[in-house]
Amino acid sequence: MKSIEVLLVEDSAGDVLLMKQALAEEPVPINIHVALDGKQAVEMLSQGLFTPSVIVLDLDLPKLSGLGFLEWYRADVPLVVFSSSSKPEDRGRALQLGAREYVQKPTDPTEYRRLLSQIVRNWGTPPPVGAVAGT
């Protein structure tokens, strides 16, 4: 079984730990690559050392914000914003810049884990071989 490569762009150590714990419970192997800010994420992707299956992006980041990263990012890898921001303008701008989905981080740890797991399963798992889009 091929592993899912997740690029997690998150500066909160607590969120990184919670995300790693949540994804460790998944039935498929998941490799998590962490960028602590938007600038580091740009550098990691530019080096091409791995190809993520999905990018999970926070918006409130140092050095280069999540929206700044989205302005730079132009690839076919699905990117999902997972942010505490409930501002409609953040959601709208992120989706306009190419995020496939915008999910507000819940405060409940169980719901947080469930949503993160759902994001990775929905966007990081390739469709079955022979699957036709839209069916």
**Residue 135 falls inside a structural domain:** no
Output the CA torsion sign for 54, 60, 61, 64. positive
Proportion of the chain above pLDDT 70, given as a percent: 92
CB contact at 8 A, 135 and 128: no
Q: pTM here?
A: 0.89
Q: Does residue 27 carry a pLDDT above 90? A: no
CATH code for the domain of 13: 3.40.50.2300
**Residue 132 falls inside a structural domain:** no
Q: Give me the number of domains the chain comprises.
A: 1
**Residue 73 falls inside a structural domain:** yes
**Residue 71 falls inside a structural domain:** yes
Q: Does residue 132 carry a pLDDT above 70? A: no
How far is the C-alpha of 71 from the C-alpha of 118, rounded, in Å?
A: 25
